[in-house]
Amino acid sequence: MSTNIPNLTEINEIAADDKNFVLQIVQPGLAGLMDGSVSTLAPIFATAFATHNSRTVFLIGLATAVGAGISMAFSEGLSDDGSLTGRGNPVFRGIVTGLMTFIGGFLHTLPFLISNVHRALTLAYVVVGIELIVIAFIRHRYFKTSFALSCMQVIVGGGLVFAAGVLIGQS
């Protein structure tokens, strides 16, 4: 009769695999998603309020998301070779960070494919809200941060950058 109870070695391997997944995929992906979702708000919304032209906003948003993704990929990939921290292959981490940065910046750019800038802005607000909730959930799930506290932190950070974009765009 065999039991399916894992032994101590198997438990340690599972814990190590979980830690590596968080260090090598979740953390760089979350950093990228946060950077892309938040840092691109100011240029996108400043452009929307300054030009009232969806095509221009879309192009600025696309350029911002691509530029931020490339920048974050190099930043993460060159910041740590992984040997001291155990964070894994720097090229892989850079790709994860850059891709998630692009996604975070591009998702709230997509609504500006709608030609009516006011409708696009309304949809973009919803997309940003969803992005921030997803970030809060990931922080809660993998880093054991209180969901309410995490929501508050990402909303305050995102709100400050959004406000800067609106103020700059209206000046």
Write down the pTM of the prediction.
0.84
**What is the count of structural domains for the chain?**
1
> Over the stretch 38-84, which tens digit does the pLDDT of each residue have?
889 899 999 999 999 999 999 999 999 999 999 999 998 888 787 77
pLDDT on residue 9: 67
pLDDT on residue 11: 59
First-to-final CA distance of the chain = 76
Percentage of the chain beyond pLDDT 70 is 91
Token pair belonging to 132: 């921030």
Tally of CB atoms within 10 A around 148 = 10
Asked if 35 and 68 count as a contact pair (C-beta separation under 8 A), the reply is: yes
CA angle 63, 98, 21 (to 5 degrees): 155
Is 27 within a domain? yes
Asked if 132 and 151 count as a contact pair (C-beta separation under 8 A), the reply is: yes
Is 122 within a domain? yes
- Domain span holding position 110: 23-170
| Interatomic CA distance for residues 9 and 157, integer angstroms | 42
Is 112 within a domain? yes
Is 86 within a domain? yes
